[in-house]
A and B are shown apart, each in its own frame.
Chain A
Amino acid sequence: MSDVTEAPTVRARAAGLVDDVRARLTGNLGSLPVVVGLIVIWVAFQMINPSFLSADNLVNLTLQCAATGTIAIGVVLVLLLGQIDLSVGSVSGLSAAILGVGLTQLGWPLVVSILAAAAAGAAVGLLYGVLFTRFGVPSFVITLAGLLGVLGLQLKVLGPNGSINLPADSPIVQFATSWFLPPWVAYALSALWAGGMFTAALLRRRRRLRAGLTTSPLGWQAAKAGGLLVLCALAVAYLATNRGVGVMFVFFIVLVIVMHVVLTRTRWGREVYAVGGSVEAARRAGIRVDRVYISVFVLCSTFAAVGGLLAAGRLMSVNLNSGAGDTNLVAIAAAVIGGTSLFGGRGSAWSALLGIAVIQSISNGLTLLNLDSSIRYMITGGVLLLAVIIDSLSRRARAAHGQA
């Protein structure tokens, strides 16, 4: 075995160092532009209005991100396949309606209401997946029809009165509005996250050494984990001067991390990227493409349903406007702004978090400035356009490089 691995090790060691640089030069900018953009936005708003980065406002911001951010995770998945789901807003509204009616009118226990709402979302996604794979109708059209159909369903479920207030003592409302982690729990979770990341890196390093492959220096891994820990601890400490870290926000972060791991470390995740990159190649490699499509549509609608539940809990009410308005577009824009390509095959679960942070920061900052929503929409639209242009340009850069 040693003779097998020696040559590659030497070669890879040299190449490995330039890999990252090369990847960025070939148009794979990753999340760098978004992070930079986010920092610019924060600094700008802070200069105009010093209360923007106040602990109070940042706590608000985290809570504002969670619901639509959760919907955006699902959107990331369909975008990775090069497809789209235009009905996530309607599905989130339907799910909220089911929760409201179940809880207040039918007297269902909370768990049953939540499961029913999530199941409804999954069923919608299953329908999309089957329509898409059986009849080959573009997902754009299927989900546009779904947008209307599901909206109708939402109105039907809500019935004539059209508006339901959730009981303020319901755990889902508490979860979304007033449950905050005690600081020590938040610190412990931060340590767990950073520690988990470092342990994973250590284990990977051991496996790579055993396989005779190149490894990045241990110090670098330690620095990354340490940096994460320090950042988290600072954030926790700052937010703790106000209400603290919202449980709903932690829930959202955990969903993002789980989805990231599933996408990058499992066979299913690999298949999602492959189908997004080239359906025909995936098919000829023996991947059951139809299953991948259906599973992703189901997951996307389910995430939309969960996001709808979080939104309902946070607003403490369900009505005709739940999931309507800009929910749909904000969720889709978040995924794209966060760096997931519209062309399929490129992106990560983290773009849901980054994208929603950008959009909500803008929206929150403009609201603090008492600017009305007309300007908010225009600016968000501009940012989305910018994100799509970056996406298209980097795609073109890749194409140009690929032909070289």
Chain B
Amino acid sequence: MSAETVVPLPVPGPPERTPVLSMRGISKSFGKVQALTDIHLDIYAGEVVAIVGDNGAGKSTLVKILAGVHPADDGGIEFEGQPVQIPDPTTSRALGIATVFQDLALCDNLDVVANLFLGREIAGVALDEEEMEREAWELLRQLSARIPSVRVPIAALSGGQRQTVAIARSLIGDPRVVILDEPTAALGVAQTAEVLNLIERLRERGHGVVLISHNMADVQAVADRIVVLRLGRNNGDFLASEVGYEDIIAAITGATEHARPLPEPSYPRPRRIGPLR
């Protein structure tokens, strides 16, 4: 490190890591509705960040800004420390941000292989079905996915299996960050467990994972960090291992306006998150 590093880090710990993806003071309004105000968010590799908040807190809007569906009004986004613009979904994808939208966006009539490679088919003159099928098996095996055959149409799969295919599809092209908007909302107990398992595997593979969920049990089961949004603002950033259910609920409902200080992170953060008061 150079002599410029005059401010000593508060906690000597593991070497400082740059977040894969950071949002810096992002604001977004739809007409008169201020959906997001001055949002800060860091996503690290190999970490699951859960974003929680009441209906209308701005979670999906945040996802859509990262996915390139809506541009932000104000603020900046950094990818691996470099400032970037995300004007459209293709750019988001090319940066290495994969989004699994809540409605999955799969083609029911196509089989698993076709869906996995949709828009990214391996092809010379003709489609290389064999190579695609081989890679599909390999990917699903890495995820320990329970799919009976990669040649059945999506219509024949259960909700959890579809979710698995949608998540597997996001991994093609090896993204750095995977964003999942309410991946368990429509699933039963067993299938939810399957998807949570999958999320843990994503973390093991070293992806940064953003999980949006209303289900606190799911969040506490897999998240390393929990970021609370309230009325479009940051309202807390907790280490999952150190925070109780009540604290999160309090932050979500606004009973605590950051009454609780941020917990000391296990590694130094580039900056504190959220407008602390």
CB-CB < 8 A to A208: which residues of B? 130, 133
Q: Which residue of B lies closest to A213 (CB)?
A: B133
Query: A interface, how many residues as a size bin?
Result: 35 or more
- Interface assignment of B121: CB less than 8 Å from any CB of chain A: yes
Cα distance A95–B137 in the bound complex, in angstroms: 49
User: Which of B14-22, B26-34, B99-107 interfaces with chain A?
Assistant: B99-107
Establish whether residues B151 and A398, one from each chain, have CB atoms under 8 Å apart when the complex forms.
no
Most buried by A among B120, B121, B141: B141
Establish whether residues A266 and B89, one from each chain, have CB atoms under 8 Å apart when the complex forms.
no
Establish whether residues A401 and B155, one from each chain, have CB atoms under 8 Å apart when the complex forms.
yes
CB-CB < 8 A to A19: which residues of B? 149, 151-152
Establish whether residues B123 and A28, one from each chain, have CB atoms under 8 Å apart when the complex forms.
no
Task: Choose from A28, A211, A265, A286 the contact partner of B130 (Cβ within 8 Å).
Answer: A211
Task: Choose from A16, A267, A281, A287 the contact partner of B149 (Cβ within 8 Å).
Answer: A16
Establish whether residues B131 and A285, one from each chain, have CB atoms under 8 Å apart when the complex forms.
no
User: Which of B2-10, B108-116, B266-274 interfaces with chain A?
Assistant: B108-116
Instruction: Count CB-based A-B contacts (< 8 Å).
Output: 119
- Interface assignment of A345: CB less than 8 Å from any CB of chain B: yes
With both chains docked as a complex, state the minimum distance between the C-beta of A169 and any C-beta of chain B, in angstroms: 41
Establish whether residues B149 and A265, one from each chain, have CB atoms under 8 Å apart when the complex forms.
no
With both chains docked as a complex, state the minimum distance between the C-beta of A31 and any C-beta of chain B, in angstroms: 16
Q: Which residue of B lies closest to A8 (CB)?
A: B137
A273-B107, A274-B107, A281-B106 given as contacts; is B141 within 8 A of A26 (CB)?
no
A4-B141, A12-B137, A16-B149 given as contacts; is B127 within 8 A of A274 (CB)?
no
CB-CB < 8 A to A5: which residues of B? 134, 137-138
- Interface assignment of A167: CB less than 8 Å from any CB of chain B: no
CB-CB < 8 A to B118: which residues of A? 270, 274, 281-282, 285, 287
- Interface assignment of B93: CB less than 8 Å from any CB of chain A: yes
Per-position 1/0 for A271-286, Cβ under 8 A of B: 0011011101110111
- Interface assignment of A231: CB less than 8 Å from any CB of chain B: no
Name the prevailing secondary structure of the A interface residues: helix
- Interface assignment of A207: CB less than 8 Å from any CB of chain B: yes
Cα distance A208–B151 in the bound complex, in angstroms: 14
Establish whether residues B106 and A270, one from each chain, have CB atoms under 8 Å apart when the complex forms.
no
Cα distance A8–B146 in the bound complex, in angstroms: 11
CB-CB < 8 A to B121: which residues of A? 267, 270
CB-CB < 8 A to A7: which residues of B? 137, 141
- Interface assignment of B90: CB less than 8 Å from any CB of chain A: yes
- Interface assignment of A291: CB less than 8 Å from any CB of chain B: no
CB-CB < 8 A to A398: which residues of B? 108, 155-156
Task: Choose from A12, A270, A401 the contact partner of B114 (Cβ within 8 Å).
Answer: A270
Cα distance A207–B123 in the bound complex, in angstroms: 14
CB-CB < 8 A to B157: which residues of A? 402
Interface pairs (21), CB distance under 8 Å: A8-B137, A208-B133, A211-B133, A266-B125, A266-B126, A267-B123, A270-B118, A273-B109, A274-B110, A277-B107, A277-B108, A277-B110, A281-B104, A281-B105, A281-B106, A281-B107, A282-B119, A287-B118, A345-B107, A345-B108, A401-B156
Minimum-distance CB pairs A-B, first 7 = A8-B137, A285-B119, A277-B107, A345-B109, A15-B149, A277-B109, A286-B119
Interface residues of B (CB under 8 A from A): 89-90, 93, 101, 103-110, 114, 118-121, 123, 125-127, 129-131, 133-134, 137-138, 140-141, 148-153, 155-158
Interface residues of A (CB under 8 A from B): 4-5, 7-8, 12, 15-16, 19, 22-23, 26, 28, 204, 207-208, 210-213, 265-267, 270, 273-274, 276-278, 280-282, 284-287, 345-346, 398-399, 401-402, 404
